[in-house]
Amino acid sequence: MIRPSESPVLGSRVDGRSRRHRRVGHLSTSDTILAAAAHVFRTKGYQAATTEEIANLSGIRKASLYHHIKAKEDLLYALCTDSLARITAAAEQVSAQGAEPVTRLRELVRLHVVTMLADQDKHAVMLTELRSLHGARRKQVIALRDRYEGIIRQTLAECQTDGTIRDDDTVKALSLALLNLLNWTIFWYKPRNEMSAAMVADFLARIFLFGAAGPKLHQV
């Protein structure tokens, strides 16, 4: 049974051997289903994705799916919380480093882009299929997202204070512009791109940091 707080991330399981039936990449059945769901949800959208297609891609029959989940929406919820839990945990580590604000901001951008592009299916689903999640679970995912954005905004504010980012724009406007710049990448980046995810991240970070530079950065 896939439970929100326990849902593992693709490729994260190392103890696959304890399972009776191993699959390609050492994923448990639940993990295989999650990966399949992410792929189909991303490609066709949540509503157009059928449980039958997810099952087939997972190597089982449609009915067997319901041994692992209670409803199709469970898969969406698991993917969203998984995506956000991971990226938020990493961002909080960066924030706790105590490095210069602008250095942390660069790291947050890199982390955001690299994490997002390392598992595009899952993060694309979180970013674009949230409207198909309903009730309390939708609110919960939005709260997780707000918490993550809070880390970005806090760092931006610190950059304004030390003069590396101009302070005549609001933190809110700056964070929206930054997330604009980063998030839309999910729609066009292909792993076989001439640029690696890290290169894309640094390219976008450079545009933002020059574009929103404060007095201090100009002296460098």
Partner DNA sequence: GTCTATAAAGAGATAGAC
Partner DNA sequence: GTCTATCTCTTTATAGAC
> How many other β-carbons are positioned within 10 Å of the β-carbon of residue 208?
20
Q: With binding defined as CB under 8 A, does residue 114 bind its own copies?
A: no
Give the bridge partners for 19, in sequence order.
none
- 2: helix, coil or strand? coil
Give the bridge partners for 213, in sequence order.
165
The smaller minimum CB distance to its own copies, of residues 14 and 188, is found at 188
Q: With binding defined as CB under 8 A, does residue 217 bind its own copies?
A: no
The C-alpha angle 85, 113, 219, rounded to 5 degrees, equals 120
Cβ atoms 116, 186 nearer than 8 A: yes
**Identified binder of DNA from the candidate list 52, 92, 146, 162, rule CB under 7 A:** 52
Q: With binding defined as CB under 7 A, does residue 70 bind DNA?
A: yes
Between 38 and 57, how does the x/- string for binding to its own copies read (CB under 8 A)? Answer: -----xxxxxx---------
Nearest-approach distance from CB 114 to its own copies, in angstroms: 16
**Identified binder of DNA from the candidate list 68, 110, 112, 145, rule CB under 7 A:** 68
- CA-CA-CA-CA torsion for 161, 162, 163, 165, nearest 10 degrees? -70
Q: With binding defined as CB under 7 A, does residue 43 bind DNA?
A: no
At 137, list the tokens. 């679970």
Q: How far apart are CA 6 and CA 78, in angstroms?
A: 9
Q: With binding defined as CB under 8 A, does residue 215 bind its own copies?
A: no
> How many other β-carbons are positioned within 10 Å of the β-carbon of residue 84?
21
Between 121 and 150, how does the x/- string for binding to its own copies read (CB under 8 A)? Answer: -------x--xx------------------
Instruction: Point out which residues bind DNA (CB under 7 A).
Output: 20-21, 29, 48-52, 55, 60-64, 66-68, 70-73
Q: By CB under 8 A, name the binding residues for its own copies.
A: 43-48, 128, 131-132, 169, 173, 176-177, 179-185, 188, 195, 203-204, 206-213
